[in-house]
Chains A and B, each alone.
Chain A
Amino acid sequence: MVSDEVLRTHLQELRRGTVVVASLVALRRPDYGYALLQRLAAHGFAVDANTLYPLLRRLEDQGLLTSEWNTEESRPRKFYRTSDDGETVLNRLLDDMTAVRTSVTDLIEGAER
């Protein structure tokens, strides 16, 4: 029997890159850190806050997200949105996810039993 530790590590590895994809998709509609966290969680992407907030920063530095401060509400919030470059990268990533999915399906169907 595989230990939970091993399983958890593999799941983590598998999930790691998908947070970026999920964020870029979700931020086609601008949102701020915590609201994005909740939206992702509602869609089955359980991301830690201390992973997501720095990630948004990094994606912004890389030019995949743009940001704007919104001061109209009760407290000022930084809203992120997927940039044009972000959209381009996202499309590549989504294509790749589809390709991986297809490959895995092929492999499962083609595998001898």
Chain B
Amino acid sequence: MSSLTDRYVAATMRAVPAQRRLELAEELRGSIADMIDDRTSGGQDHASAEREVLTELGHPEKLAARYSDRTLQLIGPRYYLLWWRLLRQLLTYIPAIVGVLSGLAKALLDGEPGAAIGTAVVAAMQTAVQIAFWVTLAFAVLERTRTPLGLPEWTVDQLAEESRERQISHSDSIASAVFLLATVGFLIGQHFQRWTTDDGSRMAVLDPALWSFWLPALIVVLLATVGLEIAKYRAGRWTWPLVAVNAVLNVAFAAPVLWLLGTDRLLNPELVERFAWLRDGGTDQVARVTAAVVVLVAIWDVTESAVKARRAA
């Protein structure tokens, strides 16, 4: 008995259940010998015949899987759709929630608002990886044990529930809300986590005088926009009243920002004083770019909502 065949049989038997190993090994060895004999009787030398036969039989673990009727996939068609839906649902909110909470904890409890965004991103990513890993592992185990989950069969009634037109997706709404809240967080955070200059003095980016009225007003507008996101999600699509509110809120945000930029009141004067390029006309450049972005975003947002409302009508 030659060593290649021995190695092949051993490799195959490692992957089949122990109780049938001996008999299977004996039979497989015999079959391989038969196949080799057939080739050598036709004039082929033993070594090359053996290689040919073993190559024909293919990967030992694949053969073993066929013998023991085992799946060669992590998650097969039986569980795939369920796995994918669950994973998507969990990944839509949980990482975002964990990220926001740990960011807030960093900012408020540890008193380090500047590190909050980094902490939030890392926490969200770690959570996402953990969710993906454990959910996939659970389903891979189910696949291997072939556990019946006893889930209700698909019926047409499910179709009726889901088929209501939904223009506004879950994940879009959550992403928008998170973005808006992050902006609020920035407005508040920039005041506390001040810009540290070379000489160690710290300053807010925006003019602290604006806290008397304009910054709180902008924050209220942003929070109202979060409310709009929620209303829009509940409606499931853009309606004309929602478009109107959206337009008002966009103007309510963009107009003050543009006016403050135009009158040089947005940036902290101390900060401007500190940096030569800001003093020498840099503020104009900052104002122009910011104004352009604010105007474009507002126009885009209102136009998009109107187009979608028209499509949904």
A positions within 8 Å CB-CB of B = 32-35, 38, 48-51, 53-54, 57-58, 75-78
Contact = CB atoms under 8 A, between A and B. Distances in A.
Given A34-B38, A50-B66, 4 more contacts: A33-B34, A34-B34, A49-B35, A78-B26
B27 interface: yes
B199 interface: no
Contact of A57 (B33, B34, B57, B67): B67
Nearest to A54: B66
Interface of B: 23-24, 26-28, 30-31, 33-35, 38, 56-58, 62-63, 66-67, 69
B67 A78 contact: no
Nearest to A55: B66
A33 B33 CA distance: 11
A17 B38 CA distance: 27
A58 B70 CA distance: 12
A76 B66 CA distance: 23
B69 A78 contact: no
A54 B67 contact: yes
A49 B69 contact: no
Contacts of A77: 27, 30, 34
Given A34-B35, A50-B62, A54-B66, A76 B30 contact: yes
Given A33-B34, A49-B35, A50-B62, A58 B69 contact: yes
Contacts of B23: 78
7 contacts: A32-B30, A35-B34, A53-B27, A75-B34, A77-B34, A78-B26, A78-B27
A33 B63 CA distance: 15
B26 A76 contact: yes
B30 A75 contact: yes
Contact of B31 (A33, A51, A58): A33
B63 A50 contact: yes
A60 B24 CA distance: 13
Contact of A54 (B26, B30, B34, B63): B63
Nearest to B57: A50
Contact of A49 (B57, B62, B67): B57
A111 B258 CA distance: 74
B27 A33 contact: yes
Contacts of A78: 23, 26-27, 30
